[in-house]
Amino acid sequence: MNPSTPKNLITRSSILVLCLFTLLGVNSTVFGDDEGSGIAGKEPASYPLSPNDNWDLLKILSLNREQVIALWSQAPAAPMAELNGHYMGLVPNHGDVENQLGTGDYMYNEASPRGFWLGKAYQATSATEGVGYNRWRLPGGKVVRNGRFATKMGTSLIDGKPALMMYYGAYNQDSTLVDEIRKLNDYVYLGLGSTEAADGTRSEPGHFMLVGPTDEWVGVSDF
């Protein structure tokens, strides 16, 4: 990847703005109104939503869980070769203070066992398969790269349509977590993740979004 190529990397200014918006999204009770109604500012995205819309950062963060899932169901599979490098992770929960707080504590908390989620990384190993990992920030600013997964173009476990599949069980035999990635727009990707229940069905999916690449692939630091 050429770090000077605009099509391959988000500009530094965009990254700084996105970092600010990420903090707003997971700490909405600090930046919202006195009644704790969630993120102040732009109105929530409204239906009908389309992957063909102009997806600026404000609009991305105005989405709620149901809207992310609706967009994901319309979007095409993310191309294997296109996902290359580090991507910033977001979990939009506009207007849902309970989920904003829960996500903030579980995914964006340096003091948690996981740390503050920075996002995911991808590297293709063939036209249809690849590898990846998650990135977390720990107290003191230390960044670890772990939570590895194998990627493969395949069929969604959620709706049976094409998706870029992420299998965590490839590196952790106890994990049934599978993330599924589809492309919303240039540099913007939608993800749903589910686990296997005792009866063999899949859990209700968790949602997230990826924006990038922000920088190049490095490799795991902690297995």
Q: Kindly tell me if the per-residue pLDDT of 25 is higher than 60.
A: no
Spell out the residues 6+ positions from residue 137 whose beta carbon is closer than 8 angstroms to its own: 110, 115, 116, 118, 143
- Quote the pLDDT of residue 210: 97
What average pLDDT does this structure show over 38-65?
A: 68
Q: Kindly tell me if the per-residue pLDDT of 16 is higher than 80.
A: no
194: confidence class by pLDDT, cuts 50, 70, 90? very high
Q: Kindly tell me if the per-residue pLDDT of 222 is higher than 60.
A: yes
What average pLDDT does this structure show over 54-64?
A: 86
> Among 57-61, 161-165, 208-212, which stretch is predicted with the lowest mean pLDDT?
57-61
- Quote the CA–CA distance of 88 and 119 in Å, as a whole number: 4
Q: Considering just the CA atoms, what is the radius of gyration of the chain in Å? A: 17
pLDDT above 70 coverage of the chain, percent: 78
What average pLDDT does this structure show over 67-90?
A: 97
Please say whether the beta carbons of 158 and 192 come within 8 A. yes
Beta strands in the chain (DSSP E): 85-90, 108-109, 115-124, 129-137, 143-155, 162-167, 178-185, 188-194, 206-215
> Is this prediction's pTM over 0.85?
no
- Token digits for 147? 């939570």
15: confidence class by pLDDT, cuts 50, 70, 90? very low
- Quote the pLDDT of residue 196: 97
Q: Kindly tell me if the per-residue pLDDT of 147 is higher than 80.
A: yes
* Mean pLDDT, rounded, of the chain: 83
Per DSSP, the three-state class of 4 is coil
- Quote the pLDDT of residue 53: 75
